[in-house]
């Protein structure tokens, strides 16, 4: 999936810290143990390595003073997340100074070299010193309760992965999820959210606390004037509009009934939107406007749907109705590579036990089932003007719904996993899909509503509730899962 026109972390890579712990007193007692454990740390470093990620590997930390130094090094390196690899028994005093000073989330890796000790080979060693050294190489589990105890007493969140160093699919999947969650948290912390216009008046549920959003995710909010968009559109030359028209033809299935003048109007607005996004380095956008009949701004706002759909597909999610919380949800889903299309209830099909969901306005065309259609509309229901709009269903298969909730000044996540299924949809020039949930349409609907979200949410492809749960833990915010 295409990503990041702008508004992202730029040249600031995700930085992940790694250190192993051991007990300095062991090295002189057990020949080769220190080198062996350092090799295990390097194995973990290789597991963490990914394009665009900088691994800060401090090796083995085996004394409280080295832990203090490690904390300073992590802080100077500006790491986003730390993996603590417990290689053998080690004192909690070799951990707390490092993670406390670093001040970022830490995941404890409780990994032993193989699935089990070879008891026969072990007992044939006979030499008790060699046997003890061999056992200590397997002793990762021993200090984890001590470390967790100290973390809890110190107010540090405890996250852990337990398993085998190599060849353990569970461990590899969990590391991948934590790395992806850290990457998305990094993106959100550097994202610029543009807000243009005003709320859809009377939708009390969508009104948002921008300070809470900035505090929860690190979002920078940029207030954008629709006058600037109008000025950019006025300054376009014909070639820029022609280029956007060609893009429409390539990326959409345009119904023949769409008037050329309407398509050109939409292309001009789309080209202006792309320029506005680049000018402000915007990574997501929430908008709504009404203006007055015949005004230039009414003409603009009634011709944004195709351009906003292309932006959404290019990594700059656009939420209508000034739904800031949902712009955040869409950005999170897109950053995970799942898409993130604006949606709400359309109805319930009790015969098929599915929930119909969709929305007017922009859609995420990269997660559509087939090519997104462009249809003419004589009226935008509840909004001003007329023009062309997009119609699409989310790709059939597993999907995840995400809502960003505000409650008493706190931001929360609400998540559900389901299936996008084939079947008849409402061919009204909107995004709309059919979703099936394990507990059934009625129970899902009541459980989702009971969690207190706004009536909008973001839908993406794939089941990523596990990654969203880890993102919530990294950000220290509550997540509720209802399906």
Segment 26-76, tens digit of pLDDT = 999 999 999 999 999 999 999 999 999 999 999 999 999 999 999 999 999
The pLDDT value recorded for residue 351 is 97
Answer yes or no: do 304 and 164 share one domain.
no
The confidence score (pLDDT) of residue 309 equals 97
* Confidence category of residue 294, pLDDT binned at 50, 70, 90: confident
When pLDDT is cut at 50, 70 and 90, the band that residue 380 belongs to is confident
Residue 286 shares a structural domain with residue 360: yes
Same domain as 293, residue 392: yes
The pLDDT confidence band at residue 6, using thresholds 50, 70 and 90, is very low
244-258, 294-308, 377-391 — which is least confidently predicted? 377-391
**Domain tally, the chain:** 2
Q: Say if 8 falls within a structural domain.
A: no
Q: What percent of the chain has pLDDT over 70?
A: 98
> Is 154 within a domain?
yes
Question: CA angle, 372 as apex, 367 and 377 as ends, to 5°?
Answer: 130
**Which residue among 187, 220, 240 closes a domain?**
187
Q: Are 295 and 385 in the same domain? A: yes
Indicate if the pLDDT at residue 8 is higher than 60.
no
Whether residue 202 is found in the same domain as residue 155? no
The last residue of a domain, from among 187, 206, 230: 187
Rounded percentage of the chain residues whose pLDDT exceeds 90: 92
If asked whether residues 473 and 377 sit together in one domain, one would say: yes
- Residue 194 tokens, joined: 């543009």
Tell whether 381 and 268 lie within a shared domain: yes
Look up the CATH number of the domain holding residue 114.
Answer: 3.40.50.10940
Q: Is residue 353 part of a domain?
A: yes
What confidence score (pLDDT) does residue 4 get?
Answer: 44
Determine the Cα–Cα distance for residues 136 and 142; give it in Å rounded to an integer: 10
Alpha-carbon distance values, 85 to 49, 82, 114, 431, 442 (Å) = 15, 10, 15, 46, 45
The answer on 310 and 403 residing in a single domain is yes
Query: Does 376 score more than 60 pLDDT?
Result: yes
Question: Do 438 and 483 meet the contact criterion of CB atoms below 8 Å apart?
Answer: yes
Q: Kindly state whether residue 4 falls inside one of the protein's structural domains.
A: no
CATH number, domain with residue 359: 3.20.14
Residue 2 domain flag: no
314 contacts 5 by C-beta, under 8 angstroms? yes
**Phi/psi of residue 458, nearest 5 degrees:** -110, 140
Q: Is residue 3 included in any domain, yes or no?
A: no
**Are 322 and 449 found together in one domain?**
yes
- The C-alpha atoms of residue 455 and residue 183 are separated, in whole angstroms, by 28
Structural domain span for residue 92: 14-187
Specify if 195 maps to a domain. Answer: yes
Neighbours of 210 (CB within 10 A): 13
Choose the final residue of a domain: 172, 187, 202. Answer: 187
Q: Are residues 148 and 247 in the same domain?
A: no
The pLDDT, as a whole number, for residue 10 is 58
pLDDT tens for 171-186 read 999 999 999 999 999 9
Q: Judging by beta carbons within 10 Å of its beta carbon (0-12, 13-18, 19+), is residue 131 exposed, middle or buried?
A: middle
Quick one: 149 and 221 in the same domain? Answer: no
> 16 pairs with which residues across the strands?
55, 81
Work out the mean pLDDT of the chain and round it to a whole number. 95
Give pTM, 2 decimals: 0.94
Question: Is 23 in the same domain as 84?
Answer: yes
């Amino acid at each position: 999936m295409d990503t990041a026109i702008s508004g992202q972390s730029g040249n600031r890579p995700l930085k992940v810290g790694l250190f192993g712990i051991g007990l300095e007193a062991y090295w002189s007692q057990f020949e080769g143990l220190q080198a062996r454990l350092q090799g295990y740390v390097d194995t973990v470093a290789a597991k963490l390595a990914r394009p665009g990620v900088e691994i800060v590997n401090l090796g083995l930390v085996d004394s409280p003073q080295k832990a203090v130094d490690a904390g300073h090094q992590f802080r100077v390196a500006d790491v986003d997340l730390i993996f603590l690899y417990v290689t053998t028994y080690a004192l909690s005093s070799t951990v707390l100074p490092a993670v406390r000073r670093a001040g970022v989330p830490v995941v404890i890796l409780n990994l032993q070299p193989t699935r089990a000790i070879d008891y026969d080979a072990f007992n044939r060693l006979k030499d008790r010193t060699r046997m003890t050294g061999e056992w200590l190489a397997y002793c990762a589990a021993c200090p984890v309760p001590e470390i967790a105890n100290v973390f809890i007493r110190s107010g540090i969140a405890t996250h852990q992965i337990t398993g085998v160093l190599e060849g353990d699919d569970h461990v590899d999947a969990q590391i991948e999820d934590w790395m992806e969650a850290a990457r998305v948290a990094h993106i959100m912390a550097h994202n610029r959210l543009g807000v243009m216009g005003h709320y859809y008046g009377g939708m009390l549920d969508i009104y948002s606390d921008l300070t809470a959003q900035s505090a929860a995710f690190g979002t920078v909010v940029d207030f954008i004037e629709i006058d600037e968009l109008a000025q950019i559109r006025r300054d376009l030359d014909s070639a820029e509009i022609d280029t956007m028209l060609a893009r429409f033809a390539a990326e959409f299935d345009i119904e023949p009934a769409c008037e050329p003048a309407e398509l050109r109007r939409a292309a001009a607005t789309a080209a202006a939107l792309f320029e506005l996004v680049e000018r402000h380095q915007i990574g997501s956008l929430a908008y709504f406007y009404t203006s007055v009949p015949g005004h230039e701004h009414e003409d603009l706002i009634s011709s944004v749907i195709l351009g906003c759909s292309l932006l959404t597909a290019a990594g700059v999610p656009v939420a209508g109705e000034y739904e800031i919380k949902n712009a955040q949800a869409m950005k999170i889903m897109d950053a995970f590579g799942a898409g993130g299309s604006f949606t709400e209830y359309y109805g319930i099909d009790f015969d098929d036990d599915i929930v119909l969901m969709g929305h007017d306005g922009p859609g995420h065309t990269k997660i559509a089932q087939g090519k997104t259609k462009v249809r003419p509309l004589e009226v935008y229901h509840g909004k001003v003007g007329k023009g062309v709009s997009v119609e699409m269903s989310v790709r059939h298969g597993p999907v995840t719904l995400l809502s960003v909730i505000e409650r008493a000044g706190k931001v929360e996540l609400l998540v559900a996993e389901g299936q996008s299924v084939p079947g008849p949809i409402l061919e009204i020039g909107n995004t709309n899909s059919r979703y099936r949930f394990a507990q059934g349409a009625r129970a899902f609907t009541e459980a989702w509503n009971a969690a207190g979200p706004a009536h909008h949410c973001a839908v993406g492809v794939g089941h990523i509730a596990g990654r969203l749960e880890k993102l919530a833990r990294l950000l220290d915010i509550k997540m509720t899962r209802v399906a």
